[in-house]
Amino acid sequence: MRKRGLGGIMETLSKNNDRYNFFYDLKNTNYKYTILYIDIIKFRLINNAYGINESNLLLKQITEKIDKIGSNLKMDINICMYEKDIILIKLSNCNNKKLTALINSIVMSKYKYSINFRMAFMELYEYGDVLNFIENIKYVFKCKKYEVTDENYNIEDLNIEYHIKRYQELKNDILSNNNRFFSLVYQPKVELKYNNIISWEVLSRWNHPKYGFISPIEFIKIIKDLDREYEFDIYILEQMCKEISRLNFDHSIYSINISVNTLKNPNIYDKILEITSKYYINPSKITFEIVETSQVEDYDIITEIINNLNKMGYNISIDDFGTGYSSYYRLCNINFSEVKIPREFLPSKKDNREKKMAVLKGIVNMCKNLGCKTVIEGIETKDDHELASYLGVDYAQGYLYSHPVTIDESLKMIINS
């Protein structure tokens, strides 16, 4: 039996087309059809825990159920194992009633292992639309929850046509407007010991004329997809320097996120110096928050770049400490003055409070021993504030103190504090 990579696995498991034939069929289809995209959540964990034979048997069980359900609903179904944990289904003779019945049956069926599905669909006609659908699906999943765990969902919520069109429009706007529609807001960091504002984190915002407020999670993802992180970070840095230079107020420090890809740009030193010198900003008044939390290549080079920025007088903060593989490495090798602890480390009354307390206290004590300050994010209640103070955290930020504000509003807050 012939095999074509993952398509070969699919061919072994069911009577449906392999990946090559699936796309050949799509390319030669001249009528409207529906593509259903199924992501088997945490399938790779099953594969790693129980082995490829067991995971293949699970795929066989899933695809055979889809075959049977489609036959019962009198739908023409063509299945493709697009990736190890992703199934594409071409549906002909399909309507919302049949599609709902198919999805319900897939989700509510019993399988050998406990699994959940993330699903989306789109009505298509052109082959190019299929490729666009697949290219953008992971972005769309980041913007909206498509996990289907029971029958309590609206079928139209799984139709991603709107989100793909939106994604394309936002991409084009970023490419054509050179970042000019991004604005800045400032969120204070409060010194817990004296309850006064000690510094500010600079955040970017996008109020789109058609779509309104665009979440930073969404537009940062698009910027990464376009490989324009350097242009974006430099633009935000210059806008920040321009705004704070107007204040003529030299008592605050301003933190700004900077990505690893930006740091790797060969012009990074010259560009940062050019901007800060242009607006007469003392390097000691700027903190670069290193935002990369996943594994990256050339970590030794990145570490050297960060340490050189520190030697130039800029402050370095480790953002989202504890969420990336490299936290220990960074602690040992980067010259930093601050560690930012995400809200997830805050103990709640519901789950693992004592363990979280011990972990958070350990991080705070470790940072004190290393001679650096700690900042905890997401402080929303007085209980959060009191807990952070009790544990010895130096600084905090969150909605309890202030939502992000404009540069002029920040000056009023500085004067009042």
DSSP string over 242-278 = HHHHHHT--S-EEEEEE-HHHHTSTTHHHHHHHHHHH
Q: Is residue 331 part of a domain?
A: yes
CATH no. for residue 138?
A: 3.30.70.270
pLDDT, one tens digit per residue, over 264-275 is 999 999 999 999
Say whether both 255 and 385 belong to one domain.
yes
Helix, strand counts (H, E) of the chain: 16, 14
411 has pLDDT over 60: yes
Say whether both 345 and 377 belong to one domain.
yes
Instruction: Count the domains in the chain.
Output: 2
Q: Which domain holds residue 377?
A: 178-416
Say whether both 118 and 241 belong to one domain.
no
167 has pLDDT over 80: yes
Confidence of residue 394 (pLDDT cuts 50, 70, 90): very high
Say whether both 146 and 227 belong to one domain.
no
pLDDT, one tens digit per residue, over 216-239 is 988 998 999 899 999 999 999 999
pLDDT value of position 11: 47
Angle at 112 between CA 144 and CA 52, to 5 degrees: 85
Confidence of residue 295 (pLDDT cuts 50, 70, 90): low
Share of the chain above pLDDT 70, in %: 88
Mean of the pLDDT values across residues 18-47?
Answer: 88
Say whether both 215 and 97 belong to one domain.
no
Poorest-pLDDT segment among 121-130, 187-196, 255-264, 365-374: 121-130
Q: Is residue 354 part of a domain?
A: yes
Q: Is residue 255 part of a domain?
A: yes
Poorest-pLDDT segment among 183-187, 395-399, 409-413: 409-413
pLDDT value of position 43: 87
Q: Is residue 1 part of a domain?
A: no
Confidence of residue 292 (pLDDT cuts 50, 70, 90): low
Question: To the nearest whole number, what is the mean pLDDT of the chain?
Answer: 85
142 has pLDDT over 80: no
Say whether both 185 and 252 belong to one domain.
yes
Q: Is residue 101 part of a domain?
A: yes
Measure Cα distances from 146 to 41, 88, 96, 117, 334 in Å. 11, 15, 17, 8, 39
Say whether both 203 and 131 belong to one domain.
no
Mean of the pLDDT values across residues 172-200?
Answer: 92
Contact 322, 374 (CB under 8 A): no
Q: Is residue 172 part of a domain?
A: no
145 has pLDDT over 70: no
In the DSSP assignment, the letter for residue 159 is: B
Poorest-pLDDT segment among 211-215, 367-371, 412-416: 412-416
pLDDT value of position 151: 63
pLDDT value of position 340: 93
Write down which residue in 163, 186, 201 finishes a domain: 163
Write down which residue in 114, 138, 163 finishes a domain: 163
Q: Is residue 171 part of a domain?
A: no
Say whether both 100 and 188 belong to one domain.
no
CATH no. for residue 231?
A: 3.20.20.450
Q: Is residue 412 part of a domain?
A: yes
- Cα dihedral 240→245→251→252 (10° resolution): -10
Say whether both 132 and 200 belong to one domain.
no
Give dist(CA 69, CA 23) in Å, integer.
22
> Other CB atoms closer than 10 Å to residue 193's CB: what's the count?
12
Tokens of 147: 């996990």
Give dist(CA 19, CA 76) in Å, integer.
17
Say whether both 370 and 235 belong to one domain.
yes
Confidence of residue 16 (pLDDT cuts 50, 70, 90): very low
30 has pLDDT over 80: yes
pLDDT value of position 2: 33
Say whether both 117 and 227 belong to one domain.
no
Say whether both 13 and 135 belong to one domain.
yes
Write down which residue in 107, 135, 163 finishes a domain: 163
